[in-house]
Structure 1
Amino acid sequence: MTAPMTPAELYRHGLQLLLQKDIPGWVDLWDEDGVLEFPFAPEGWPVRLESKAAVGDYMRHYPDHVDMHDFPEVTVHETTVPETIVVEMRGVGRLVESDTPFGMTYIAVVTVKDGLISSYRDYWNPLAVQQPGADFVGAN
């Protein structure tokens, strides 16, 4: 019997799935009652997704909007709560519709329960997608 992945291992595995454009595999890392939050979401964008199904619906078309090439900078910070990590990272790729380079810095607070993501707060910069011609998953 293998030990379950640590929150950091699970998170890094999830990044690899995103790079492989395996969205169903990424969604499978979520608890059925998992919550994805975007505290800095601009008006008209989702602020809170409640359930694995809602996360899956939101992420389903991600590769149609962003062709993610790499996460060249990923730093995982352990917290005093073993199930919770804080992640600083940078993702790079291209925006599919405009075929322009994409780069975003993220900070995420992620909690894992029973080997699955139960809470994910994504502190991304909404100003990066409010520029003219910006194209990003989640936009109306």
Structure 2
Amino acid sequence: MTPRAIFDRMRAHWLANQPTYEAGMLADDVVIETPFAAPDHPTRTEGKQRVLEYTRASQAAFPVRFDDCRNVVVHETADPETIVIEYELVGTHTATGVTASAPFIAVMRTRGGKLAHWREYQHTLAIAQAIGQAQGS
């Protein structure tokens, strides 16, 4: 799969309320990084099995249903296996019904048609506010 095809599959999973990744799309030594992760969340997860386990657990515990992935801009790089993606996720808090959005930027590197590295930069304050975890919420 191309990097764009992998992102399209990830996007489809978000909108279907499924874990982001499936085994067949990941390299065995995949690395997922979220440098600005919320407290008590890892900033780096390595290896296919650990990524799948963490993603399933996180998706099950996250009280948000994603309704849209919009404003997607894909930037090609000199490396055909690497893209930079800008996007905005819109979701609804499943307990409160509040809808909010947050912007993201990600760098995706593939190898042999599989995801090898995903580094995602999140607007964690917007996410925390949307799910009622920010101070003053």
TM-score, normalised via structure 1 length: 0.81
Q: One-letter code of the match for 2:37?
A: A
Question: Secondary structure in 2 aligned to 1:11?
Answer: helix
Task: Give the match for residue 138 of structure 1.
Answer: none
Segments of 4+ in structure 1 off by > 4 A?
none
**Which residue of 79, 86, 91 maps to 2:89?**
91
Task: Give the match for residue 107 of structure 1.
Answer: 105
Post-superposition shift, 1:102? 2.8
Post-superposition shift, 1:71? 0.7
**Which residue of 66, 69, 77 maps to 2:75?**
77
Post-superposition shift, 1:124? 0.3
Task: Give the match for residue 45 of structure 1.
Answer: 41
Instruction: Answer yes or no: is 1:7 the counterpart of 2:15.
Output: no
Q: One-letter code of the match for 1:81?
A: D
Task: Give the match for residue 22 of structure 2.
Answer: 27
Moved more, 38-47 or 69-78: 38-47
Q: One-letter code of the match for 2:39?
A: E
Post-superposition shift, 1:97? 3.3
Deviations 1:102-131 (A, max 9, x none): 311100000011111000001001222444
Compared with structure 1, are the counterparts of its residues 42 and 94 closer, same or farther at alpha carbon in structure 2 (3 Å cutoff)?
A: same
Q: Please give the root-mean-square deviation of Cα atoms over the aligned residues, in Å.
A: 2.1
Deviations 1:9-49 (A, max 9, x none): 2211221122122327x323211210100111233221100
Distance (whole Å) between structure 2 residues aligned to residue 107 and residue 98 of structure 1: 27
Structure 2 portions without partners, runs of 5+: none
Structure 1 portions without partners, runs of 5+: 136-140
Distance (whole Å) between structure 2 residues aligned to residue 78 and residue 38 of structure 1: 21
